[in-house]
Structure 1
Amino acid sequence: MIGVLSRNTKLGNEQDYQIRRVLSRSELSVVYIVRHIETGTMSVIKEFFPSALARRCSDGKTIKCLKASVSPQFVKLREAFQREAMVLRDLQHPGIVRYEGYFETNGTAYLVMEYCHGITLDSVVRKNQLRINADFLRTSMLPLIGALEHIHQQGYVHRDIKPANILIGKDGKSKLIDFGSVIRYTDSATEHPIFTTAGYSPLELYSDKSLQTPVADIYSLAATLYFCCIGAAPIAVPTRLFEDKLVSVRAGNRAVSPFLSRIIHWGLALSANKRCSSLRWFRAALQTEYILHKKSVVRLTGRKPAVVPHSLPKEREFQHSD
């Protein structure tokens, strides 16, 4: 892959990591799987490399701006990358990919994270389609709710909850793997950069001057559950503003209980003031869905439901996105 660091390149303040291979590349970064030379453990390193603004020098390592005119933008994006690292350092939680370090060299910055096995939630849902059930939702979504509660308690809003940013491990539990859009909602700043994903971003994220609080993440959580239940994202907010034809979860999947369907729809309210404001409702709805599922299986078969894990593809590594 052109422009990336070569295999066996050493990284770190003490040159203690060795690149094994490239995991992914985006407009803002390159992600590598690395090995710690002393311990042999594997990690993931994310290198700040905005390809539209910078180039790799002839030494094969150093990154420099393409021209002086883009230097302010490069610096601004690099500061945002550094903030992402510091936020991840502050948010240690089982439902969040673990921070392992940060360093600067080669004219750029590097974020070190734990190496995880699994697959993103969007891939799991697309593979399983209508086989996603209450067992899977309870196992995968409760850790996500716990992670969001922790994020909000620390004064942050994630702003980019979506299936592509949620890793499902072999045990079925979830981890959040991208924090590039996080802001501190307790700050006095009145402007925030606009980052949106059609179907998953609430109305307030489409403005850089709007009040952005934890209920923004509740919208995105509800949209993620919507996707899990019916296999498609909700209608994007700009379209709903003109004519809101959002179909309820239960209309798209009769196996979902009216209670969970109503909670999801409440979480998808366009107005933040009318939206569900507590994650406790989602935890209660998922627990209730699981109980109802168990009772329905017992009623139909006379037996307790077998614990059948969701179907995952062969083990693969997660991919970070910007």
Structure 2
Amino acid sequence: MRNRIGKRLEGIQAAAGIALQRLREAALDRPLRPGAAIGGRYRVERVLGIGSYGISYLCADLHDEGAPCVVKQVKPSKRGGRKGKPIFEREAATLAALDHPGVPKLLGRFRERRDLFLVMEYKRGRNLEDVLFADERTFALPEALRLLRRLSDIVAYVHRAGFVHRDIRIPNVMLREDGTLALIDFGLACPVSDEPVDGEETERYAEEKRIRREPVAASDFYALGHFLLFLLYAEFEPKENEPERGWEEELDLPSGVRRFIRRLLQLDEPFGDIGEVVRELDRLIEQTPAKPE
């Protein structure tokens, strides 16, 4: 009985400790309010997003006639940990090495008191998550393949520069007014390597997350496969009372497209490099003409 009570109390104490930690993080990581000044130069307009390690703000650059930019702050709860500052340094180094119209330019970095900030180019547009779920836009197969092809051009540039993004998801892909795409949030990007990224213990991740976090090109291919499935499911309408099935059963896809996705997801022989992905994608696009309007 005493052991049972002791174990129960330990469980309660552990849960209380986790709850207190979360309360502390919530207090520390409260976003800056609109109008707040950062670095004596940037005025916060609104919060763009809050991730695991950072808070991104749309800001006006008061030294450049109020031009919009993105200022990303390392979460105060993370800045003293073994991951917060290394991730900040890695993202800054990655963006500084890249120069592509589909990738935000690094405009600067600074420290204010104990806080760390990156300043980046603002890529105006709608992220694909909002396009799909808020705007309820759908993509037929020909259009989805062409959109993936445009994204693959950006990924090809990143890979040729020696990096992998490791976080290609619909909220991190911007659809711009002119139809071009931008790939944002390089917080998890890193150089291609055969070794685990410092400070990461990928063996603890679930299988899907482990594949996405490997510092190899295949992690981005896997993410491209899921990206394409998100686009294709936008048109999918399940029948009433029909049980949920796998994507290969639910989506009516040509065999070549199905095989392409399986290779991206590493269910069949995986692609060797992004060039192979692009060549196969071009072949599929040629075989899948756009429907006349």
Instruction: Using structure 1 for the length normalisation, give the TM-score.
Output: 0.67
Find the partner of 1:227 among 224, 227, 230.
230
- Which residue identity is paired with 2:50? R
Counterpart secondary structure, 2:275: helix
Find the counterpart in structure 1 of residue 183 from structure 2.
176
Find the counterpart in structure 1 of residue 219 from structure 2.
216
Counterpart secondary structure, 1:265: helix
Cα 1:115–1:260, aligned 2, differ >3 Å: closer, same or farther? same
CA contact (8 A) 2:128 2:170 kept: yes
Find the counterpart in structure 1 of residue 240 from structure 2.
none
Find the partner of 1:5 among 4, 27, 32.
32
CA distance in 1, matches of 2:160, 2:97: 12
* Cα displacement (A) at 1:117: 2.5
Find the counterpart in structure 1 of residue 7 from structure 2.
none
CA distance in 2, matches of 1:194, 1:97: 28
Find the partner of 2:150 among 143, 153, 166.
143
* Cα displacement (A) at 1:264: 0.9
Cα 1:199–1:224, aligned 2, differ >3 Å: closer, same or farther? farther
Greater relative contact order structure (CA < 8 Å, 6+ sep): 1
Matched, 1:109 2:116: yes
* Cα displacement (A) at 1:204: 7.3
Find the partner of 1:278 among 273, 276, 291.
273
Counterpart secondary structure, 1:84: helix
Find the partner of 1:47 among 61, 64, 73.
73
Matched, 1:163 2:163: no
- Which residue identity is paired with 1:4? P
Counterpart secondary structure, 2:289: helix
Matches within 5 A, 1:93-132: 93-126=100-133, 131-132=138-139
Q: Over residues 112-163 of structure 1, what are the superposed CA-to-partner deviations in whole Å (9 max), with x where a residue is unaligned? A: 1122322222332335768312453244322321121122122222222222
* Cα displacement (A) at 1:265: 0.9
Identity score, percent = 24
* Cα displacement (A) at 1:36: 1.5
Segments of structure 2 that go 5 or more residues without pairing to the other structure are 1-25, 236-244
CA contact (8 A) 2:60 2:69 kept: yes
Find the counterpart in structure 1 of residue 6 from structure 2.
none
* Cα displacement (A) at 1:108: 1.6
Cα 1:94–1:257, aligned 2, differ >3 Å: closer, same or farther? farther
CA distance in 1, matches of 2:197, 2:35: 45
* Cα displacement (A) at 1:43: 0.8
Instruction: Using structure 2 for the length normalisation, give the TM-score.
Output: 0.72
- Which residue identity is paired with 2:273? S
Matched, 1:262 2:288: no
* Cα displacement (A) at 1:246: 5.1
- Which residue identity is paired with 1:43? C
- Which residue identity is paired with 1:223? H
CA contact (8 A) 1:145 1:283 kept: yes
* Cα displacement (A) at 1:84: 0.8
Cα 1:194–1:177, aligned 2, differ >3 Å: closer, same or farther? farther
CA contact (8 A) 1:103 1:111 kept: yes
CA distance in 2, matches of 1:190, 1:38: 37
Find the counterpart in structure 1 of residue 55 from structure 2.
30
CA distance in 1, matches of 2:74, 2:222: 30
Find the counterpart in structure 2 of residue 315 from structure 1.
none
Cα 1:29–1:153, aligned 2, differ >3 Å: closer, same or farther? same
Find the counterpart in structure 1 of residue 250 from structure 2.
252
CA distance in 1, matches of 2:95, 2:177: 23
- Which residue identity is paired with 1:261? R
CA distance in 1, matches of 2:138, 2:286: 18
- Which residue identity is paired with 1:49? K
CA distance in 2, matches of 1:38, 1:130: 38
Aligned residue pair count: 255
* Cα displacement (A) at 1:87: 0.8
Cα 1:278–1:285, aligned 2, differ >3 Å: closer, same or farther? same
CA distance in 2, matches of 1:173, 1:198: 33
